[in-house]
């Protein structure tokens, strides 16, 4: 028990696991653990990346979870009970995330998991939770294989790496001036999935992939890699990167005078709110496939942006929103099930239709929500939605000026 308590941390998170206690659960251990106060409380356990390379994204997720939690409790909670969150640290590690599933299922008798930030951790959590027949809601992980395990217990809100690549290639085709492309990606599950997807859609569009580079996020010296890309003179570069590596790639591209008509990315590090500030002028003109911004037309989007800023002092990225919408989806599923039985919650998720500030939520037979992709561009240090035209809040600015010609 002492070991378990040390793992529960009320802070940031990547993977979110929900434990349900004191709510009429059939779990004997859970009931024994419940205090009198717990009888009126549902405790939601959140596995997160409090530490490690993904902690910045965990911070964003925490903001979304906490705002949703505040609103849910203000409006009566879930099944008439107040909700609490407890966060676990997966240390930005898939192995730790899988261990956390064991711990929460076996010790906390968890009935539902809000799965982790990264694609590597999400895949590990889905595989492990499926062995326990515990449903997982995946807020942010985009690698295609997360919903391709054959599991009936995975439900993903966000669009996938395939969706990102497809949208970016559609933009290239519309512009008509991208004939060659280089792909630069981190070497884990997310990067590999983004690389595979972009090669597929680029080749289908007749765009030649002239270079394909992978790297480790443990080493932030990318100049040798970027110099190889420079030698191929691609019209566009497509990055699949997390936070610090995204900043390093663009600042080093500037340092070695690597130019391209389009600097593009599969969201993630290029979409996190701190990217324009951390990369400075090197961030300008970059294009990133993403999932949401404050100008989205879904009801509640603008208010979400305002409320996050009011509560935390910074504007949210789509990672905040995905966590926010995931907690509301969990709430709706539990209430539709009318029970804390994991199989009934799973069945409720499979048939749920929900309108959220993140857009409509409805899962297909693989557990994938059909969420649209937005492409943003950093212009003068701010994100502007530039594609598709129906959602655009500003004009696309291309081709990207050479570094020597920028102000």
Question: Tell me, what's the pLDDT at 297?
Answer: 80
CA distance 217 to 245: 6
Tens-of-pLDDT digits for all 407 residues of the chain? 333 433 444 333 344 445 444 333 333 333 333 333 467 888 777 777 889 988 989 999 999 999 999 999 999 999 999 988 778 889 999 999 999 998 888 888 878 888 788 999 999 999 999 999 999 999 999 999 999 999 999 999 999 999 999 999 999 999 999 999 999 999 999 999 999 999 999 999 999 999 999 999 988 999 999 999 999 999 999 999 998 999 999 999 999 999 999 999 999 999 988 899 999 999 999 999 999 988 788 899 999 999 999 999 988 989 999 999 999 999 999 999 998 889 999 999 999 999 999 999 999 999 999 999 999 999 999 999 999 988 898 999 999 999 999 87
Question: Tell me, what's the pLDDT at 113?
Answer: 87
Question: Tell me, what's the pLDDT at 106?
Answer: 87
Question: Tell me, what's the pLDDT at 122?
Answer: 93
pTM score, whole prediction? 0.85
Question: Tell me, what's the pLDDT at 371?
Answer: 94
Question: Tell me, what's the pLDDT at 91?
Answer: 94
Question: Tell me, what's the pLDDT at 10?
Answer: 39
CB 49 within 8 A of CB 59: no
CA 279 to chain centre: 21
215-218 long-range CB contacts below 8 Å, 24 or more apart? 215/184, 215/185, 215/186, 215/187, 215/245, 216/186, 216/187, 217/53, 217/186, 217/188, 217/241, 217/242, 217/244, 217/245
Question: Tell me, what's the pLDDT at 87?
Answer: 85
Question: Tell me, what's the pLDDT at 36?
Answer: 37
Question: Tell me, what's the pLDDT at 38?
Answer: 64
Question: Tell me, what's the pLDDT at 22?
Answer: 37
Per-residue buried b or exposed e for 95-124, using 16+ beta carbons within 10 Å of the residue's own CB: ebbbbbbebbbebbbbbbbbbbbbbbbbbb
| Residue among 59, 57, 84, 60 at smallest CA distance from 70 | 84
Question: Tell me, what's the pLDDT at 12?
Answer: 37
CA distance 324 to 237: 32
CB 16 within 8 A of CB 109: no
């Amino acid at each position: 028990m002492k070991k378990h308590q040390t793992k529960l941390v009320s802070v940031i998170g990547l993977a979110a696991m929900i434990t349900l206690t004191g709510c009429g659960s059939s779990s004997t251990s859970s009931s024994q653990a419940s205090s009198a106060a717990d009888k009126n409380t549902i405790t939601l356990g959140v596995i997160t990346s409090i530490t490690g390379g993904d902690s910045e994204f965990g911070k964003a997720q925490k903001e979304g979870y906490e705002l949703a939690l505040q609103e849910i409790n203000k409006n009566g909670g879930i099944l008439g009970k107040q909700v609490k969150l407890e966060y676990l640290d997966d240390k930005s590690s898939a192995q730790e995330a899988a261990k956390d599933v064991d711990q929460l299922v076996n010790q906390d008798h968890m009935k539902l998991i809000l799965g982790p930030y990264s694609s590597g951790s999400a895949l590990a959590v889905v595989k492990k939770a499926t062995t326990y027949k515990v449903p997982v809601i995946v807020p942010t992980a985009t690698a295609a294989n997360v919903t391709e395990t054959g599991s009936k217990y995975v439900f993903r809100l966000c669009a996938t790496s395939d969706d990102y690549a497809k949208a970016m290639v559609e933009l290239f085709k519309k512009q008509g001036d991208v004939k060659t492309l280089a792909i630069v990606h981190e070497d884990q599950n997310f990067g590999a999935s983004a690389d595979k997807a972009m090669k597929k859609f680029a080749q289908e569009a007749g765009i030649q992939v002239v270079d394909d580079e992978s790297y480790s996020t443990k080493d932030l010296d990318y100049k040798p890699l970027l110099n190889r890309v420079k030698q191929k003179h691609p019209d566009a570069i497509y990055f699949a990167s997390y936070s610090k590596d995204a900043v390093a790639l663009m600042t080093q591209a500037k340092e070695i005078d690597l130019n391209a008509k389009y600097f593009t990315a599969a969201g993630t590090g290029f979409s996190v709110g701190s990217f324009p500030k951390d990369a400075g002028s090197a961030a300008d003109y970059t294009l990133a496939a993403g999932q949401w911004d404050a100008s989205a037309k879904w009801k509640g989007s603008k208010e979400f942006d305002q409320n996050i800023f009011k509560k935390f002092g910074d504007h949210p990225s789509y990672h905040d929103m995905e966590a926010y919408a995931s907690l509301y989806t969990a709430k709706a599923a539990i209430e539709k099930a009318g029970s804390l039985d994991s199989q009934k919650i799973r069945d409720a998720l499979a048939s749920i239709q929900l309108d959220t500030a993140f857009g409509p939520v409805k899962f297909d037979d693989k557990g994938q929500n059909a969420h649209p992709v937005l492409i943003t561009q950093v212009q003068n240090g701010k994100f502007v939605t530039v594609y598709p035209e129906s959602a655009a809040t500003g004009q696309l600015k291309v081709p990207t000026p050479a570094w020597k010609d920028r102000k």
